[in-house]
Chains A and B, each alone.
Chain A
């Protein structure tokens, strides 16, 4: 085994150079987890390629050595996607960080996967453009990771998720071949393979280049902050706004416990700590239209029970409002050593009852819950603060998480809106999909990665893995494995 590993390390070094190949335990330690620190696993090596050809060489080296590999961006993922769940080599793309082209006239950019999300918008800004998907982690997460997870963000409500903004991909396939899918002009003429790869959590190949759509910066932005006595009335306001036909750029709710945490932290934004919840509404577009829309939103918030609705007077105040939202995760770090950020979606009309149910679940398990979420999309983020050193509390966190997901599914929802399934939720896939549905997904998997070497151990329930490896076991022979 040791000789085998030495040979692997040697061929990886040949592929990317010595300084881009990490093999020492203390170097590998940081790659044992991503943003979900509960499911850790040690990789055999980590490589940091700079070019597509190096990625292809790494993949070929892995194939020759018979080991699997895992694409990774910044490792901010919250479902264990970028972790070597079954061992193997982590291909970290953060050094592939060049913007290769930026075409303002045709409104697209070609980037390497390691470009940080916010950097792309910064580069596009002088041309009056931006990259619309804006995960709250955008200062750190990469476009490759965004493609992996089909990431969204506060502004998804109006602008859509990553999949709506990716026009083309270059992909190193699990056999080491390089293929181009789609392109800047869009409208590919066969299957929408770009659409299939976005959100596939790094299981169909390593993305080495991404062609993205750029969006014009809006002329005007209005940001409102509605203060509500409790979270349920804030949800009612969200329902009213959706029903009115308005399409705000963002509709975000921050609940009382989060407000308290934020106000006690460096992110303090001057929010009323006696409020049950605040609703952050952002409207953008033509100045003449946005002002009128803001007035309607204000009325709808009042009708739903808002005690106050403030409109940001300037950019500084707008940033202050957003600080409460964006600093929420950081602020929660003060509450307990660990934070479990959940992610599920329900029909927006069900938000009030689901939030009550989620609170009841956490109360029953004696857990500290706070909610800060993309209300306009029905995308909940129940956050549980806990201490993993207490095994009993950890067990309750896991149990409550499962109950929350089940509650959301029973309400017509799904178990992930933006963080993906990874290792975290793969055993809950059966809540939504039956064997036939999962088989269909495996057909796609098998077309790209018949040998299951690219990021194995993700998305599909663990109990299916033995079946995947041995299709005929237990009568499982429906997917035509060759």
Chain B
């Protein structure tokens, strides 16, 4: 699948010659996508989306590409729609603690712009190239920021119908109309292309400390992760070494001091290096195609111990954010391992999710393990509603066709 000359001409008529190029092909799930469309003009992107719909073409929406390994294989992928053209830092309002950012802006760039302002970003980056739009569309979770949805105040979204739409606003409280931003955050670009976002920034903590606890029990790890100033806590095991917990305390210096004393006295915690937690999380949860299966299981926090036993028994290691009830399991899948091994791992995953009263998804796996399976996990009871939404927002299935839950 690629673009024929007539489609290229029709698209270029809408976005301009330079905005559609075949210079940097993108590899995705065994496909080589030659063409990339990248524009700074949301209205032009809208017109291009209409052209794609009329011609029955499918596009892969892409920010920095740091999370493009996650998703079902696309049903069509005629071109890449890069959001990198939406590269403007529209506004950073340090008095309000809000920012309006182009979807294609790299989170790292925003962080640099915020340095010294007293504010920080509410989104975590998977890599130097992670973008604002990508982080939101993927509802990217990191140890410090488990809920990107609550950081979004408003969005500008280009719909498949070509319309440039707005939802929400720039203020920190708002119930004016439906909260459509919720559908686009975590919608993986399947309902529209996020062009820009108003985000609520977080105040920089007065004090940050990192601590390590060796061999805590799961209940103790949960207790530690729930301390008032625990901003992030990562608990990992099944690695061959005894389980360990890394905790980052952040906030008011007095509150941090209280929790640090508790960690030392109750858990025998020792000071850890500031990057240890991030490194451990990156190793456990990063999404890129590997010779391994990585699953994410959302679970009830008190059930963690029940989950991890099953993961280890199936040959996996795990890393959890205990306070958020999220656990990543990593299972090696050497080249020789066949379908039966994949089934075995997924059966263990399913059982773990059941134990945790939660849900699983396959965050990273070689293409062969993803084919014919839904990486978003077992079918959701709400799938008919999701299908109806997709049909209303993107009836011609232009946006990331097949990649979302239920192969939508």
Contacts and interface: CB of A to CB of B under 8 A. Distances in A.
Interface residues of A, number: 88
B252 A285 contact: yes
A193 B381 contact: no
Contact of B178 (A191, A200, A247, A285): A200
B386 A292 contact: no
A387 to B, nearest CB: 29
Chain B CB count within 10 A is highest, among A152, A195, A291, A412, for A195
Interface stretch (A42-50, A300-308, A417-425): A417-425
B161 interface: yes
A363 B376 CA distance: 58
A395 to B, nearest CB: 25
Contacts of B255: 285-286, 288-289
A346 B177 contact: no
B179 A191 contact: no
A289 to B, nearest CB: 4
Contact of A184 (B163, B167, B300): B300
A83 to B, nearest CB: 17
Contact of B175 (A179, A190, A243, A417): A417
Contact of B183 (A105, A179, A192, A346): A192
Contact of A192 (B97, B174, B182, B226): B182
A139 interface: no
Given A164-B150, A195-B149, A480-B392, A447 B385 contact: yes
Interface in B223-272: 226, 228-229, 251-255, 257-259
A433 B166 contact: yes
B252 A187 contact: no
Nearest to B229: A286
A20 to B, nearest CB: 28
B345 to A, nearest CB: 18
Contacts of A436: 159, 163-165
Contacts of B179: 150, 163, 195-196, 198-200
B135 interface: no
Contacts of A180: 381-382
Contacts of B391: 447, 480
Interface string A377-393: 11100000000000000
Contacts of A193: 382, 385-386
Chain B CB count within 10 A is highest, among A289, A415, A421, for A289
A288 B254 contact: yes
Contact of B171 (A150, A346, A434): A346
A374 B173 contact: yes
A347 B183 CA distance: 25
B217 interface: no
Q: Which secondary structure characterizes the binding site on chain B?
A: loop
A414 B400 CA distance: 33
B359 A189 contact: yes
A437 B155 CA distance: 11
B99 interface: no
Given A185-B299, A436-B163, A447-B388, A416 B174 contact: yes
A440 interface: yes
Contacts of B77: none
B45 interface: no
B289 interface: no
A447 to B, nearest CB: 4
A457 B389 CA distance: 22
Nearest to A442: B392
Interface of B: 93-98, 118, 139, 141, 147, 149-150, 157, 159, 161, 163-167, 169-180, 182-183, 185-187, 191-192, 203-204, 206, 226, 228-229, 251-255, 257-259, 298-302, 324-326, 356-359, 361, 376-377, 380-383, 385-386, 388-389, 391-393, 395, 404-406
Smallest CB-CB A-B distances: 5 pairs: A195-B182, A185-B358, A245-B203, A187-B298, A436-B163
Interface of A: 103, 105-107, 149-150, 152, 156, 160-161, 163-164, 173, 179-181, 183-196, 198-200, 216, 219, 239, 242-243, 245-247, 285-286, 288-289, 291-293, 345-349, 374, 377-379, 412-421, 425, 429, 432-434, 436-441, 443-448, 459, 478-480
